[in-house]
């Protein structure tokens, strides 16, 4: 199955649906799941240093390449630096460590994981150097609110291509999304299914029944129609496949509005303005 791509502000193509591995234990099961996802059609894989599973992700990628399922150039691999007050040099070292754990020569996207009480400008300068040196294809941020983005854009030489944020029908983050759209920064959703909590929502289930789709597919389709890149997680092959079967139906404007109206500004993760590691 072919997943559509979007063009980032540096003209790099990125798949609009990727495979996320948040809260998945490092080991053979994840290695196999990554290979399965690639076999099914995923080309974007998203991990992070703090997940402590980069090694299994890398092994899964290597296995898929060795099996002839894909080439490295066809993949879009993301990781993130856990910037708890890192210096410039420590950020560069963290990137090198991620590459070593994954057995890769480069990443397609490297993100600052959290703004961390305004501790992000020195790490960002390190990411800019990695990008200017051609060591990473794209750079971006995660969990940045408008105030963080305003400061970053005022001091940065290079604009982030991505802001990866918690985004789902209970947390629509309209202000952040509007700011990103204005500045040509793509939004990417983590926890798009709110840790599966939304799969029991009656409004979502009703819309899913009308389309003969699952609740998860409706939410992920809602992401795409909002122009938001999404990275659902599953370790089950049938659900890994289901999560990219999003192109044979469209939500109406009325259905999109009903889903938007579920917003309660409800987070399943930390508030970026308060989270300070």
Cβ–Cβ < 8 Å for 92, 129: yes
Cβ–Cβ < 8 Å for 119, 148: no
Alpha-carbon distance of 234 to 98, in angstroms, equals 23
Exactly one of 19, 42, 51, 120 is catalytic; name it: 51
- All residues at 6 or more sequence positions from 103 whose CB lies less than 8 Å from its CB, including other chains: 58, 59, 61, 62
Per DSSP bridges, beta strands 5-7 and 13-15 are antiparallel
**Residue among 25, 129, 122, 34 at smallest CA distance from 78:** 34
Residue with tokens 């990473």, as numbered in its chain: 136
**Residue among 117, 120, 124 at smallest CA distance from 139:** 124
Cβ–Cβ < 8 Å for 44, 78: yes
Alpha-carbon distance of 61 to 141, in angstroms, equals 24
Range 40-71 burial, b when 16+ CB lie within 10 A, else e: bbbbbbbbbbbbebbbbbbbbbbebbeeebbe
Q: Active site includes 131?
A: no
| DSSP 3-state of 22 | coil
As beta bridge partners, residue 136 has: 107
Residues noted as catalytic: 51
């Amino acid at each position: 199955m072919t997943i559509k791509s979007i063009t980032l502000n540096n003209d790099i193509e990125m798949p609009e649906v990727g495979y996320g591995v948040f809260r998945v234990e490092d080991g053979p099961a994840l290695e196999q799941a990554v290979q399965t996802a690639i076999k099914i059609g995923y080309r974007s894989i998203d991990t992070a240093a703090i997940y402590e599973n980069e090694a299994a992700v890398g092994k899964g990628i290597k296995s898929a390449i060795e099996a002839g399922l894909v080439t490295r150039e066809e993949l879009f691999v993301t990781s993130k630096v856990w910037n708890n007050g890192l210096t410039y040099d420590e950020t560069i070292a963290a990137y090198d460590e991620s590459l070593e754990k994954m057995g890769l020569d480069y990443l397609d996207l490297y993100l600052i994981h959290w703004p961390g009480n305004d501790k992000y400008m020195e790490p960002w300068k390190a990411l800019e150097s990695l990008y200017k040196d051609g060591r990473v294809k794209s750079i971006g941020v995660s969990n940045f609110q408008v105030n963080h983005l305003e400061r970053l854009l005022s001091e940065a030489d290079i604009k982030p291509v991505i802001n990866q944020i918690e985004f789902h029908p209970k947390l629509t983050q309209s202000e952040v999304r509007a700011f990103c759209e204005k500045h040509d920064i793509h939004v990417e959703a983590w926890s798009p299914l709110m840790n599966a909590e939304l799969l029991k929502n009656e409004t979502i289930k009703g819309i899913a029944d009308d389309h003969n789709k699952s609740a998860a597919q409706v939410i992920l389709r809602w992401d795409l129609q909002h122009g938001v890149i999404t990275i659902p997680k599953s370790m089950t092959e049938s659900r890994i496949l289901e999560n990219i079967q999003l192109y044979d139906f469209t939500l109406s404007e009325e259905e999109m509005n009903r889903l938007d109206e579920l917003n309660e500004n409800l987070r399943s993760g930390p508030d970026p303005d308060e989270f300070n590691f």
